[in-house]
Amino acid sequence: MSDSAQATVHSYPFSPPHRLDLDPRYAELRRDEPLVRIRLPYGEPAWLATRHADVRTVLGDSRFSRAAAVGRDEPRNTPHQLDQGMLAMDPPEHSRIRRLAAKAFTARRVQQLRPRTEQIAGELVDGMLAAGPPADLVAHLATPLPIRVICDLLGVPVADQDRFHVWSEAIVSTTSLPPERIQEYIQNLFGYMGELLDARRREPADDLLTALAQARDERADQLTGEEVVQLAAGLLAAGHETTVTQIPNFVYVLLTNPEQWNRLRADPDLLPSAVEELMRFVPLGATAAFARYATEDVELSGVLVRAGEPVIAAIASANRDETVFDQPNTLDLGRATNPHVGFGYGAHHCIGAQLARMELQVALRVLLDRTPGLRLAVDVDELVWKSGLLVRGLTSMPVTW
């Protein structure tokens, strides 16, 4: 068994993100050095877990703590450390807050939202078709669809999207915004959600914000106003930001693998498994983040992680683990067994996973139905990718049909 005293510390990320390519270094590490010492641009050194089994342990085992990062020089990609709310909590504190919103994101509730989501998607594609090619898929479909759905669910005025969509970038920014702007945007988002929660207290409605406001009033001894505001803001930002990014990512992968797009056209019943496979295959994160701290000595892949040491889980690497996935670097839309960790794992598993799945299925289905000849309107090399964010994605996606 080896430990940190013998480990070389590597600079991380290993390379800048390039499109949706996964750095080949991860495959080498899974084979030769599955737990490696790294140093992010800021914070103390950490371990990086690259194998599927180790990533699930780090994300799901109570011996690894997010709350223990509070007050530490947490490994990170930004010079600043922000209050991360629920993301910096462990059960049972984390569970206490998460339960407030969990009922709104159950599989049953999400299926009830599907017809309305399909309606919205159809209207948006109507607008894109009316505008005529070439059209920007990001502006016409990928951005407004998740925003309108999460606004309906929460009870946020969709007319305010230009404001809160801009502020939400602060949640996923690494270097795209200066630290003072990130703080300003987060405070704007918190203030905005606080005002909406106050309005729901005065005039209740049939939405999640009303339920959160009422829960705060009924359990004032268990919930702080700040906790409810942070939860509401987090749901709004996370409830659209990643799906806005993943819709064009998924379409990009399918259009640059046209045999896969044609396979879906021929068999749209593959859509549920296709979305799972795209969640596995597409490395959404530009870098791994959100260290968990060992609360006791833990062995991972023959390496001793000592109590108090941070470990970062490389989800994109875990999703390409050769010991779990057959031909992991091949996109197989009909993959029968797919235990990917694209939505995370354990206590912090994405609360909106079912909503995201549904939205992604709906977005792909409407494009397959209405624009079966969809293709990129520019050369792949002309596409512009976002930078300075925790997530990878396209700033725009010109398409024709």
- 256: domain CATH number is 1.10.630.10
For the stretch 342-363, pLDDT in tens is 999 999 999 999 999 999 999 9
Host domain of residue 8: 2-400
- Selection from 46, 19, 9, 79 nearest residue 290 by Cα: 46
For the stretch 182-192, pLDDT in tens is 889 999 999 99
What's the total number of domains in the chain?
1
- This prediction has a pTM of 0.94
SS3 of 189, please?
A: helix
The pLDDT, as a whole number, for residue 170 is 87
How far apart, in Å, are the Cα atoms of 203 and each of 44, 209, 243?
Answer: 48, 11, 30
The pLDDT, as a whole number, for residue 5 is 45
Q: Which residues make beta-bridge pairs with 389?
A: 173
Neighbours of 387 (CB within 10 A): 13
Q: Report residue 210 CA to chain centroid gap.
A: 25
The pLDDT, as a whole number, for residue 6 is 55
The pLDDT, as a whole number, for residue 220 is 74
Enumerate residue ranges in the chain where pLDDT < 70. Answer: 1-6
- Selection from 401, 374, 366 nearest residue 122 by Cα: 366
- For residue 173, give the DSSP letter: B
- Across 154-190, b (16+ Cβ under 10 Å) vs e yields bbbeeeebeebbebbbbbbbbeebeeeebeebbebbb
Query: What is the secondary structure of 311-339 as a DSSP string?
Result: EEE-HHHHTT-TTTSSSTTS--TT-S---
Query: What is the secondary structure of 25-59 as a DSSP string?
Result: HHHHHHHH-SEEEEE-SBSS-EEEE-SHHHHHHHH
Q: What DSSP element (H or E) covers 108?
A: helix 107-131
